[in-house]
């Protein structure tokens, strides 16, 4: 039976690197994979999954209103694939996560989704909340805080390094940077 996997992490944990390596392992063995990423993330140019360590691959992009089940079904009609990889899965809508689950159940294709668990205010992204509810298996892609503890939270900073405590969940193209921290140091940074 195929499964829906959710690989979650905080920012800068290297989840895109893990995704691209996993996809490469299939392709090295002569199997095809289908890569998808959110259109909302223009950071690496349209239709690419890029890792901070310098590797990247072409990917189909999904918009908030796209039917991702139909996208996977259409790809399958062009030839067999071993599995589907979805990057920036936190940007999936609740409905789109159900569409992924339907692809797993009805098309019998494994789907591996990679995404951030919480935003800079410590709140679940809608896509991640639904994946936490529906995934068959979950794995954490780990990174560490400056103190050496596991980082599970993220802060948004302005260009002067000041912590931003309010604002939209998704901010594209600004001068903000993100720093991953353990919960204790996130609380200190947020003044909470
Ligand atoms: Zn810490």
The total of other beta-carbon atoms located within 10 Å of residue 61's CB is 17
State which residues have CB under 5 angstroms from ligand 1, the bound ion: 145, 147, 149, 182, 185
Query: Does residue 27 belong to any structural domain of this protein?
Result: yes
Average pLDDT over residues 114-136: 97
Query: Does residue 167 belong to any structural domain of this protein?
Result: no
Model confidence at 41: pLDDT above 70: no
pLDDT tier at 45 (50, 70, 90 boundaries)?
very low
Distance CA 53, CA 66 (A): 30
pLDDT for the residue 176: 85
Average pLDDT over residues 94-119: 98
Query: Does residue 130 belong to any structural domain of this protein?
Result: yes
Average pLDDT over residues 38-65: 82
Query: Does residue 188 belong to any structural domain of this protein?
Result: no
pLDDT for the residue 136: 98
Average pLDDT over residues 128-135: 98
Supply the CATH number for residue 76's domain: 3.40.50.300
Q: Give kind and range of the element (H or E) at residue 17.
A: helix 15-28
Sign for the pseudo-dihedral over CA of 58, 77, 107, 91? positive
Query: Does residue 153 belong to any structural domain of this protein?
Result: no
Ligand 1 center from residue 145 Cα (angstroms): 5
Ligand 1 center from residue 10 Cα (angstroms): 13
pLDDT for the residue 171: 80
156-183 pLDDT, tens digit each: 999 999 999 999 998 876 778 999 999 9
Q: What is the pTM of this model?
A: 0.93
Model confidence at 42: pLDDT above 70: no
Angle (nearest 5°) at CA 84 between 50 and 45:
25
Average pLDDT over residues 141-170: 94
Ligand 1 center from residue 146 Cα (angstroms): 6
Q: Tell me how many domains the chain contains.
A: 1
One DSSP character per residue, 52-92 reads TTS-EEE-EEE-TT--HHHHHHHHHHTS--SEEEESSGGGS
Query: What three-state secondary structure class fits 124?
Result: strand
Closest by Cα among 115, 120, 97 to 166: 120
pLDDT tier at 46 (50, 70, 90 boundaries)?
low
pLDDT tier at 154 (50, 70, 90 boundaries)?
very high
Angle (nearest 5°) at CA 162 between 157 and 164:
55
Token pair 């639904």 in the structure block, residue: 130
Query: Does residue 89 belong to any structural domain of this protein?
Result: yes
Query: Does residue 182 belong to any structural domain of this protein?
Result: no
Average pLDDT over residues 81-96: 97
Q: What are the CA-CA distances from residue 168 to residues 53, 118, 119, 127, 172 (Å)? A: 28, 13, 10, 16, 10
Instruction: List, by residue number, the catalytic residues.
Output: 88
Mean pLDDT of the chain: 93
Average pLDDT over residues 20-33: 97
Parent domain of 50: 4-142
Query: Does residue 45 belong to any structural domain of this protein?
Result: yes
Distance CA 31, CA 111 (A): 15
Ligand 1 center from residue 184 Cα (angstroms): 6
């Amino acid at each position: 039976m195929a499964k829906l996997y959710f690989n979650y992490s905080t920012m800068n944990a290297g989840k895109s690197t893990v995704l691209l390596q996993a996809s490469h392992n299939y392709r090295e063995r002569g199997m095809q994979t289908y890569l998808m990423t959110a259109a909302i993330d223009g950071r690496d140019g349209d239709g690419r999954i890029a890792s901070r360590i310098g590797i990247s691959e072409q990917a189909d992009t999904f918009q908030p209103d796209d039917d991702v089940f139909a996208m996977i079904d259409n790809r399958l009609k062009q030839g067999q694939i071993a599995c589907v990889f979805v990057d920036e899965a936190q940007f999936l809508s609740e409905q789109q996560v159900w569409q992924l689950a339907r692809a797993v159940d009805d098309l019998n294709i494994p789907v591996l989704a990679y995404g951030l668990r919480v935003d800079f205010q410590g709140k679940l992204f809608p896509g991640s909340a639904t994946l936490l509810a529906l995934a068959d298996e979950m794995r954490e892609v780990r990174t560490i805080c400056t103190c050496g503890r596991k980082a599970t939270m993220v802060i948004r900073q302005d260009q002067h390094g000041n912590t931003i405590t309010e604002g939209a969940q998704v901010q594209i193209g600004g001068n903000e940077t993100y720093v991953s921290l353990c919960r204790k140091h996130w609380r200190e940074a947020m003044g909470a």
